[in-house]
Amino acid sequence: MQSSQVITTACQLCPVDCGLHVHLKGDKVVKIEGMPENPVTRGGLCIKGARAMDQLYHPDRIKQPLKRQQGEWAPISWDEALDTIVTRLQEIRKTYGPEALGVHIGCPTLEQGIAPFIQRFTDVFGTPNVFRSDTCWYGRDTANRLTYGDNYAPDAENASCVMVIGVDPQKSAPGWAWTIDRALKKGIKLIVVDPRRTAVAKKADIHVQPRPGTDCALVLAMLNVIISEKLYDQEFVSKWTVGFDQLQEHLKQYSPEEVEKITWVPAASIKEIARTFASNKPACTMYSLSTLDMTSSGVESSRAIAILQAITGNLEVKGGWLAMPPIRLNSFRLPEKVQGKIPGEDEFPVFFKIQKNIFGAAEAPLLPKVLATGKIKALIIAGSNPILSSPNTSKVQEALSKVDFIVAHDIFMTDTTRLAHIVLPAVTFLERTNLVYVYPYFHPVPYLMLRKKVAEVEQCWPDTSLWLELAKRMGYAEYFPWKDWEEALDYFMQPSELTVDYLTREKPEGVFYDTLSYRQYERRGFSTPSGKVELYSKTLEQFGHSPLPTYREPSESPISTPELAREYPLVLVAGARVLQYHHSELRNVASLRKGAPDPVAEVHPDTAAKYGIADGDTVLVETKRGSIELKAKTSRDVVPGVVITTHGWSEANVNVLTDDAPADPISGLPLLKGPLCKISKKA
């Protein structure tokens, strides 16, 4: 009879990192449940995590290294694959120099510790050409650091008022959804800002539906009301901010009446949400990690929200925004060994002034531009699918086709891995061990645990094993002195006096590594040049940007490009989330696919009727860059004039429609929320 056991670990199919109890019979995973003792997710679990074993045991997994030969895939051994890669890398480095190597890091490898471990290899190799696949949260992080010098998380459960902006937590951040539900039971005021009537919007006291891409103007109008009606915290503003007088003058142009013309939100509603937020303290905003970043006013939107939190006295107070104490960790990075600049560093100096020492990698949209120069001869793609995840698919495909040597490390064959020369079998999160801690913008809970390996599929390697072995074969053993990842992880956690063994044997449920404290600024100030909240940013001013948050009309819109709007009269939201999937992952998992079988274009019935479209019709959604076919879904939850599409579908790749051109002049991120489109019934 096979023995049974339950292993405590954590999910990794989205950034929430839900705690899990994984049930095994023998060595086979048979059931996955939420972990009630996890202080963040408290036993909560979405369908992705509950069915993770279906990905683990999927029959279509890549289970051995493959080499492309004359258009066909030939199985090879790991030794042959590694020898081939090392030989090509050494030849390319000798002939073209270290910057001829590029590495593209995907979401599965962005988790705590692993991306810096990969970058240790690229540092030793000497290349700055590392690209991250995600286009989210950098704008927010940059804005908060410009304003406060740090990041903050919403303490929604202890708030009197919560404002949710541009996020559908039931589908993209279940931990937030569960927190909001608990807060609602305590009687909070709930404001939702979203062009779609989402599940959380249906629970709200007030829901406003702005034109996509105009959130910045909306928040600036809220600030106009709060300051003109003296609803701000005058003591905090006087003691702990710089630039208030300039801000007050600057905001006069953003009256609710003027902003109504921009956002489609009635002036009366703008005044109502401003007064509600400012008058029900403590209050906090919970806003998307991606939506606002992917607009022409990405950093400015987050700056405006940061200022809203501060001047209403909702910073570092219970129920407001709280600063997470940092975890003491060693760095894997060796940036001093790299001579060249990160792609984008010259074009977006403010962004890289802040982000270079945090992530030290280029943004995803820059990949095709850099590849087009021909300087990168080898590209290693680690758990990423840029053909589906990066904007302007045609450019990405063309750029990848010109690279001499591509290695892809992934679980399945994808649109991207099919372009590789060598494909290596990767692992699911159930097959690797890593440190898990709460992201500093999600929940104010200073807690960590170990994600434990609970299963193994023969010949499939985790990223850390691959890069450790590549380093040793390249002759970099002195920089990679660890025998395995667990030993490297012990080094990583050494400053916190934690070990893999301790977190496995004694604290499998995790530990609190620190405690929260309030009004820390009264003891140490803020980590900004002035030591205060910088409503007026001299850093931005020095680099030629507005020192005060300023709304920028989307680079495509009825206002900024009226001629284009005559041909493409609708506003596109590209990349709405689906609970069953994470980016381009999991669509091949039958237990999940049945819950969301088709890529859809969601439109208001009035919009559909105008273009002769009925619910369920096959439609063409077009921009000036291309067109895709989707299934129409009519819903009164969507504001008229807007088309909302999901992303990550190979058969209906929304990034065929999007542009990679920088829309936000500070971050360089493109316009994914708000470009112009048109829709028609397929003939």
Least confident of 11-15, 245-249, 428-432, 539-543: 11-15
pLDDT score of 137: 76
The set of residues, in sequence order, having a beta carbon less than 8 Å from that of 498 and lying 6+ positions away, is: 448, 511, 513
- Residue 570's pLDDT band, with cuts at 50, 70 and 90, is very high
Q: Is residue 358 pLDDT above 80, yes or no?
A: no
- Token pair recorded at residue 58: 């999927």
- Say which CATH architecture domain 140-323 belongs to: 3-Layer(aba) Sandwich (3.40)
| Count of CA atoms in the C-beta half-sphere (13 A) of 568 | 22
47 burial level (CB within 10 Å; 0-12, 13-18, 19+): middle
The set of residues, in sequence order, having a beta carbon less than 8 Å from that of 471 and lying 6+ positions away, is: 120, 121, 124, 477, 479, 480
Tokens 């395995």, residue? Answer: 484
Please name the residue ranges forming H helices in 200-295: 215-228, 234-240, 244-250, 256-263, 267-279
CB contact at 8 A, 153 and 443 = yes
pLDDT score of 650: 95
Edge-to-edge strands of the sheet including 101-105? 72-75, 66-69, 422-425, 405-410, 378-382, 101-105, 130-132
Q: Is residue 600 pLDDT above 90, yes or no?
A: yes
Q: Is residue 133 pLDDT above 80, yes or no?
A: yes
Q: Is residue 139 pLDDT above 90, yes or no?
A: no
Which of 446, 581, 188 lies closest to 179 in space, CA to CA? 188
Q: Is residue 375 pLDDT above 70, yes or no?
A: yes
Contacts 24+ apart (CB under 8 A), 608-613: 608/632, 608/634, 611/679, 611/680, 611/681, 612/680, 612/681, 613/679, 613/680, 613/681
pLDDT score of 111: 67
- Residues 463-504: pLDDT tens digits? 999 999 999 999 999 999 999 999 999 999 999 999 999 999
pLDDT score of 58: 98
**Beta strands in 369-446, from DSSP E residues, in sequence order:** 378-382, 405-410, 422-425, 434-437
Residue boundaries of the structural domains of the chain? 66-127+363-512, 140-323, 562-681
| Count of CA atoms in the C-beta half-sphere (13 A) of 541 | 9
Select the more confidently predicted residue: 140 or 89. Answer: 89
Least confident of 102-111, 153-162, 247-256: 102-111
- Residue 1's pLDDT band, with cuts at 50, 70 and 90, is low
- Residues 519-566: pLDDT tens digits? 999 999 999 999 999 999 999 999 999 999 999 999 999 999 999 999
Least confident of 132-141, 152-161, 399-408, 634-643: 132-141
CB contact at 8 A, 150 and 144 = yes
pLDDT score of 155: 97
| Count of CA atoms in the C-beta half-sphere (13 A) of 265 | 31
The set of residues, in sequence order, having a beta carbon less than 8 Å from that of 424 and lying 6+ positions away, is: 62, 65, 81, 407, 408, 409, 410, 461, 466
User: Which of 1-5, 132-136, 268-272, 326-330 is most confident?
Assistant: 268-272
- Token pair recorded at residue 391: 């904007």
Mean pLDDT of 67-72: 91
Tokens 């070990």, residue? Answer: 499
Exposure pattern of 203-214 as b/e (b: 16+ CB <10 Å)?
ebebbbbbbbbb
- Say which CATH architecture domain 66-127+363-512 belongs to: 3-Layer(aba) Sandwich (3.40)
Average per-residue pLDDT for the chain: 95
pLDDT score of 678: 98
pLDDT score of 147: 98
Q: Is residue 110 pLDDT above 80, yes or no?
A: no
Gap between the Cα atoms of 307 and 302, Å rounded: 9
Edge-to-edge strands of the sheet including 19-25? 4-10, 19-25, 28-34
What is the dihedral sign for C-alpha 530, 536, 538, 543?
A: positive
CA 352, 356, 357, 358: dihedral to nearest 10 degrees? 90
SS3 328: coil
pLDDT score of 359: 75
CB contact at 8 A, 398 and 167 = no
Q: Is residue 448 pLDDT above 90, yes or no?
A: yes
> DSSP letter at 577?
-
Gap between the Cα atoms of 413 and 622, Å rounded: 28
Gap between the Cα atoms of 319 and 304, Å rounded: 19
Is cis: bond before 282, omega within 30 of 0?
Answer: yes
pLDDT score of 2: 80
pLDDT score of 108: 64
Partner residues linked to 511 by β-bridges: 448
Q: Please state, in angstroms and as integers, the Cα–Cα distance from residue 475 to each residue in 349, 472, 479, following that order.
A: 35, 5, 9
Percent with pLDDT over 90 in the chain: 87
Q: Is residue 124 pLDDT above 80, yes or no?
A: yes
The set of residues, in sequence order, having a beta carbon less than 8 Å from that of 506 and lying 6+ positions away, is: none
Partner residues linked to 621 by β-bridges: 628, 679
Query: Of how many residues is the chain composed?
Result: 683
- Residue 128's pLDDT band, with cuts at 50, 70 and 90, is very high
pLDDT score of 353: 86
User: CA 416, 681, 640 angle in degrees (round to 5)?
Assistant: 95
- Residue 633's pLDDT band, with cuts at 50, 70 and 90, is very high
Mean pLDDT of 437-455: 93
Which of 538, 638, 497 lies closest to 194 in space, CA to CA? 638
Least confident of 203-217, 306-320, 347-361: 347-361
- Token pair recorded at residue 90: 């050494």
The set of residues, in sequence order, having a beta carbon less than 8 Å from that of 514 and lying 6+ positions away, is: 325, 327, 446
Intrachain domains 140-323 and 562-681 with the same fold: no
Query: What would the CATH number be for the domain defined by 562-681?
Result: 2.40.40.20
Phi and psi at 189, nearest 5°, equal -85, 130
Identity at 118, one-letter amino acid code: I
pLDDT score of 426: 97
Least confident of 26-35, 127-136, 429-438, 548-557: 127-136
Which of 7, 1, 37 lies closest to 454 in space, CA to CA? 7
pLDDT score of 457: 96
CB contact at 8 A, 416 and 408 = yes
Q: Is residue 637 pLDDT above 80, yes or no?
A: yes
pTM (two decimals): 0.96
CB contact at 8 A, 484 and 468 = yes
Q: Is residue 363 pLDDT above 70, yes or no?
A: yes
